[in-house]
Amino acid sequence: MDSTDDSSIIEQFWTALDVIPFDEVLRIAIILILALVSHFVVTKAIRAFVRRTIKKAPQKQLANRSQMDDPDEMIAEALQERTAQRAQAFGTLLRSAAVIIIWTVAVITILAIIGINVTPILASAGVAGIVIGFGAQTLVADYLAGISMIFEDQLGVGDVVDTGQVLGVVEEVALRYTRIRDFYGTVWYVRNGQMQYVANQSQGWTYVLLDMPVAFDTDLNQLRDVVNAEGVRMHDAQGPQGDLLEAPYFGGVEAVAGDAVTVRIMGRIRPPNQYAVIREVRGAMKAAFDAHGIDVPQQIIQIDEMPRRSAGPTLDT
């Protein structure tokens, strides 16, 4: 009895093995292995590219900045630092796209092998994509705008930007939104599709434009010498690693009024600390003006007492 039962079980096992399509199983296994290998190789290559780019840019910047005296070279190095941010953003986007494409192709191929007709599935996916596209146009616009902003390097984390809705520092750049913290500490989430323009104040360099009023009778030649000398002193004190890419200089007369002459002080500075640098330059120039006897205009308000009117006739008279 036992031997007969064992032989019947073995026969059933071999019969079941004959039913299993080993060629299809083998093909599915090969597809899964190829998908895993492709996933590993592609993500590894993208990570290696990102690491190599990020590693190269800071080393060159740190090695050369201390030896640079030309502002244009410093600006070029500052722009090169953004290469690391762009490479990291590109790497994240490429890894996501590669993983989706690889496993989508693998799943569709496996479904075709096991006998499932994928044509209706693809057609349904196309119709669903159209319906979702019409129903979520704002989301699609946000994602497309986010991809465009990342590829074109319109802004990055740490940049000071003006989007029309808010002026502040970028803390996060996502495909759908950008998180910005304004100078009052408020965090703004701005949808990428709503940004009609982006004024970036942190790419390479920016200007310090400082308008200061002085008394109308101030000697402009003396004022020019004082401003230029103070700008050179500030630039030399900071050195090549400071925020001043060049010495602030006398830009000229910006406006003339009845009691004041407004002069402009200019100079290229390194972002993103331009607002702190402007305040520092303003304070230094005010101290230099005081040291050289250059006065700011004083507004004098004169109040004249109007003569009293004589008493007119009353009702009694």
User: Rounded distance, CA 48 to CA 108, Å?
Assistant: 29
Q: Is residue 123 part of a domain?
A: yes
Shared domain for 41 and 123, answered yes or no, is yes
Return all residues near 273 (Cβ < 8 A) that are at least 6 apart. 243
User: How many structural domains is the chain composed of?
Assistant: 3
| DSSP bridge pairs for 207 | 268
Q: Is residue 304 part of a domain?
A: no
User: Rounded distance, CA 150 to CA 153, Å?
Assistant: 5
Quick one: average pLDDT of 262-287? 85
Predicted local confidence at residue 22, as pLDDT:
65
Predicted local confidence at residue 74, as pLDDT:
52
User: Rounded distance, CA 101 to CA 93, Å?
Assistant: 12
Shared domain for 116 and 186, answered yes or no, is no
Q: Is residue 70 part of a domain?
A: yes
Predicted local confidence at residue 68, as pLDDT:
46
Predicted local confidence at residue 58, as pLDDT:
47
**Residue 275, number of CB atoms within 10 A of its CB:** 13
Helical pair 22-65 and 71-113, crossing angle rounded to 10 deg: 180
Shared domain for 165 and 278, answered yes or no, is no
Cα-atom radius of gyration of the chain, to the nearest Å?
35
- Closest of 170, 237, 166, 240 to residue 203, by C-alpha: 170
CATH number at residue 246: 3.30.70.100
Shared domain for 83 and 52, answered yes or no, is yes
Domain extent at residue 211: 206-291
User: Rounded distance, CA 60 to CA 66, Å?
Assistant: 11
Q: Is residue 109 part of a domain?
A: yes
Shared domain for 222 and 118, answered yes or no, is no
CA angle 225, 69, 271 (to 5 degrees): 85
Q: Is residue 257 part of a domain?
A: yes
Shared domain for 192 and 69, answered yes or no, is no
pLDDT for 45 beyond 80 = yes
CATH number at residue 164: 2.30.30.60
Shared domain for 238 and 164, answered yes or no, is no
Question: The sheet that has 187-191: what strands, in order across it?
Answer: 187-191, 177-182, 167-173, 160-162, 199-200
Shared domain for 41 and 114, answered yes or no, is yes
Q: Is residue 163 part of a domain?
A: yes
Predicted local confidence at residue 81, as pLDDT:
59
Shared domain for 167 and 131, answered yes or no, is no
| DSSP bridge pairs for 177 | 191
Shared domain for 179 and 217, answered yes or no, is no
CATH number at residue 119: 1.10.287
Q: Is residue 313 part of a domain?
A: no
Shared domain for 112 and 169, answered yes or no, is no
Shared domain for 99 and 210, answered yes or no, is no
Q: Is residue 115 part of a domain?
A: yes
pLDDT for 19 beyond 60 = no
Across 62-66, 117-121, 179-183, least confident range: 62-66
pLDDT, tens digit, 9 for 90 and up, residues 146-193? 878 877 778 877 788 888 888 888 888 877 888 898 888 889 998 888
User: Rounded distance, CA 244 to CA 258, Å?
Assistant: 34
Predicted local confidence at residue 8, as pLDDT:
64
